[in-house]
A and B are shown apart, each in its own frame.
Chain A
């Protein structure tokens, strides 16, 4: 809990994915105003705090684990969050992000930059650009996951129900969710 506001601290993070789950979160529309009353959004790609903070109550993690930065970030998120939710199909199953597992990293990179004029080499992992993992992993392959919220993306209603359940200390209900929703 935030010491000042005494509201639960909500964080959202984005690993290897399309941001569609975050967009579905924004599809709460005016319920975002309601949510602002219920929680303190302490970390998110739509906010300016640069480092994942300590003492997070609920962390929604979108995306699969595709590079070394994701590994590092996810471990930190787990360490600093009471409840970690695998948010959307890429986090839950690897989904589209993991489709590159059918190929080697080299083949995937070669293909993407094949047509390009290579000026200073391929971005294959250096001081600035993180190294891609050989295999894209699910969130649960790296850390313990407390809840799974599937969907590509999860519908806004499901997100709202899930988060308000967690905020109220209830176990989020799973009914009403279907494959590919």
Chain B
């Protein structure tokens, strides 16, 4: 008899999902999958609405990285207008995108994942959360909270609102940035650098105690994709795409994000609302690639800011080719946070940021617009088609988490194979082991609201499935129940 284990809901991630593990006749792991159970359909519900509304509407795809959606959407709008935005608008958008990446990474590392790292993978689930963290180490929790606050505050100052900032749109942004706003950001910036540095030292210090998780919680070769600057450095707002393999070789370089659909494809499977992205020249499944912090650090030659470059060099020493351990997404995230704060400081020193002209004026000039940027979780594409009146006729959204879909399946499967001992029928797997399956997913910081243009919490259920596919037994974390 073959059986399945389902974990539901997967928690401390940004979305609704389940994990299922197919067991073989001996109770060993045969395969594992990650299922996204939310769907909202932004591709359809935007139809018939003016493209100028899209940044405000598409922002509602995700409350965690709304600014990234606003930017990709604004850039698609820039292309529809056929304009280049004024330098001040570009600087403001860059500033907000760095703040967006920073605050989202702070949420992922401190609020969602650090309970596993600081309290322990096997610590009691009732306390394994931000509030438990506050109880255990108030200073650590406070620093994480204040880092996220710093990023949110930068977004609020420039964008007018922390969540769903409506300040950017086709052609530029709607308001001028002031030196008073700069001064306010500069007041707390040094503390942010200090907190990230402390967290980096701390994480590197505890890595040894997670050596099994580093080695077996999603350590596998894959392609990596990310945006790079003309010089091959880290880039988040505008650049070309580079794909490298696990040996660190460049597979494709200088790819224009505006023709993403010629080299990136998507496949849908009936077990998840989330689609699977792949690199077309290699094809579905084998051509799967990873995006996000780990991928960006793997594809870039350098960071371009002093502190982050120091960390990046050290990071690259961890492997002869690409760093393939999913666990190191955490480390990559912290290095990116450091880079973001450095870039924010740099941008605040640029006079163009404060210029008055923030909007290029034009009417509709094109019928198809594509905008992309690096969102916290990876490369984001918005692709719009409009009619002669500028009303949306079609939208396609290629979202970071969807591009990590196959990697997450693989990470869950590897984790299950290593940590889950053969399960006898009806037995309850160890809670800490189930948490490791979720922790493998948390490395990718999946944003399921984004990936299915929906959002919710991910469930963790273990289902036991017979060879015919019938569910034999279902084990929830707290409510085991036999279905058969």
Interface residues of A (CB under 8 A from B): 14-24, 26-27, 29-30, 32-33, 36, 41, 44-51, 63, 66-67, 69, 95-97, 99-100, 102-103, 107-109, 111-113, 115-124, 126-130, 132, 152-153, 156
Q: Is the CB of A48 within 8 A of B12?
A: yes
Q: Is the CB of A21 within 8 A of B37?
A: no
Q: Is the CB of A45 within 8 A of B40?
A: no
Shortest distance in angstroms between A152's beta carbon and chain B's nearest beta carbon?
A: 6
* CB-nearest residue of chain A to B435: A48
Q: Is the CB of B142 within 8 A of A30?
A: yes
**Interface centre among B16, B115, B146, B266, by most A CB within 10 Å?**
B16
Our pick among A41, A123, A153 for the contact of B268 (Cβ within 8 Å) is: A123
Q: Is the CB of A120 within 8 A of B142?
A: no
Q: Other CB < 8 Å A-B pairs besides A17-B456, A20-B60, A108-B41, 13 of them?
A: A14-B455, A16-B456, A36-B135, A45-B12, A50-B11, A67-B39, A96-B40, A100-B41, A112-B43, A115-B261, A117-B268, A120-B270, A123-B39
Return chain B residues, CB-CB under 8 Å to A153: 63, 163-164
Our pick among B138, B271, B449 for the contact of A123 (Cβ within 8 Å) is: B271
Shortest distance in angstroms between A126's beta carbon and chain B's nearest beta carbon?
A: 6
Our pick among A19, A47, A111 for the contact of B129 (Cβ within 8 Å) is: A47
Q: Is the CB of B44 within 8 A of A19?
A: no
CA distance A156 to B161 in the complex (A): 11
Q: Is the CB of B41 within 8 A of A27?
A: no
Q: Is the CB of B39 within 8 A of A132?
A: yes
Our pick among B18, B135, B449 for the contact of A18 (Cβ within 8 Å) is: B449
Our pick among B63, B112, B471 for the contact of A127 (Cβ within 8 Å) is: B471
CA distance A50 to B111 in the complex (A): 18
Our pick among B11, B142, B265, B268 for the contact of A45 (Cβ within 8 Å) is: B11
What class of interface size applies to chain B in its complex with A? 35 or more
Q: Is B479 an interface residue (CB 8 A)?
A: yes
Shortest distance in angstroms between A129's beta carbon and chain B's nearest beta carbon?
A: 6
Q: Is the CB of B268 within 8 A of A48?
A: no
Q: Is B154 an interface residue (CB 8 A)?
A: no
- Render B43-67 as a binary contact track against A, CB cut-off 8 A, 1 for contact: 1110100000000010011111010
Q: Is the CB of B61 within 8 A of A18?
A: yes
Q: Is the CB of B38 within 8 A of A119?
A: no
Return chain A residues, CB-CB under 8 Å to B27: none
Shortest distance in angstroms between B408's beta carbon and chain A's nearest beta carbon?
A: 15
Q: Is the CB of B57 within 8 A of A49?
A: no
Shortest distance in angstroms between A63's beta carbon and chain B's nearest beta carbon?
A: 7
Given contacts A26-B148, A109-B41, A119-B268, whether A50 and B478 have CB atoms under 8 Å apart is yes
Could you give 22 example pairs across A and B, Cβ below 8 Å? A17-B455, A19-B14, A19-B64, A23-B107, A29-B145, A29-B148, A29-B149, A36-B131, A45-B13, A46-B111, A48-B11, A66-B38, A96-B45, A97-B40, A99-B45, A108-B44, A119-B276, A120-B269, A127-B471, A128-B20, A128-B272, A153-B63
Q: Is the CB of B37 within 8 A of A112?
A: no
**Interface centre among B41, B125, B477, by most A CB within 10 Å?**
B41
* CB-nearest residue of chain B to A12: B457
Return chain B residues, CB-CB under 8 Å to A15: 456
Interface residues of B (CB under 8 A from A): 6, 8-9, 11-16, 18, 20, 35, 37-41, 43-45, 47, 57, 60-64, 66, 107, 111-112, 115, 125-126, 128-131, 134-135, 138, 141-142, 145-146, 148-149, 152, 162-164, 261, 265-273, 275-276, 284, 394, 396, 435, 449, 453-457, 459-460, 471, 476-479
Our pick among B11, B16, B275 for the contact of A113 (Cβ within 8 Å) is: B275
Return chain B residues, CB-CB under 8 Å to A113: 268, 275
* CB-nearest residue of chain B to A50: B477
CA distance A18 to B69 in the complex (A): 12
Return chain B residues, CB-CB under 8 Å to A109: 39, 41
Return chain A residues, CB-CB under 8 Å to B479: 50-51
CA distance A107 to B396 in the complex (A): 15
Shortest distance in angstroms between A94's beta carbon and chain B's nearest beta carbon?
A: 12
Given contacts A26-B148, A41-B131, A50-B9, whether A108 and B273 have CB atoms under 8 Å apart is no
Return chain B residues, CB-CB under 8 Å to A117: 265-268, 284
* CB-nearest residue of chain B to A154: B163
Q: Is the CB of B270 within 8 A of A121?
A: yes
Shortest distance in angstroms between A62's beta carbon and chain B's nearest beta carbon?
A: 9
Q: Is the CB of A116 within 8 A of B266?
A: yes
Q: Is the CB of A30 within 8 A of B146?
A: yes
**Interface centre among A26, A48, A108, A127, by most B CB within 10 Å?**
A48
Shortest distance in angstroms between A120's beta carbon and chain B's nearest beta carbon?
A: 5
**Interface centre among A32, A113, A129, by most B CB within 10 Å?**
A129
* CB-nearest residue of chain B to A151: B163
Q: Is the CB of A20 within 8 A of B268?
A: no
Shortest distance in angstroms between B120's beta carbon and chain A's nearest beta carbon?
A: 12
CA distance A153 to B479 in the complex (A): 33
Shortest distance in angstroms between A70's beta carbon and chain B's nearest beta carbon?
A: 8
* CB-nearest residue of chain A to B8: A50
**Interface centre among A46, A63, A66, A108, by most B CB within 10 Å?**
A46
Q: Is the CB of A115 within 8 A of B63?
A: no
Shortest distance in angstroms between B193's beta carbon and chain A's nearest beta carbon?
A: 19
CA distance A178 to B268 in the complex (A): 41
Shortest distance in angstroms between A104's beta carbon and chain B's nearest beta carbon?
A: 10
Return chain B residues, CB-CB under 8 Å to A63: 455-456
In the A-B complex, the 6 residue pairs with the smallest Cβ-Cβ separation, listed nearest first, are: A20-B63, A45-B457, A47-B129, A50-B477, A108-B41, A121-B270
Return chain A residues, CB-CB under 8 Å to B261: 115
Return chain B residues, CB-CB under 8 Å to A123: 39, 268-273
Return chain B residues, CB-CB under 8 Å to A19: 14-15, 62-64, 449, 455-456
Return chain A residues, CB-CB under 8 Å to B134: 32-33, 36
Shortest distance in angstroms between A124's beta carbon and chain B's nearest beta carbon?
A: 8
CA distance A118 to B265 in the complex (A): 11
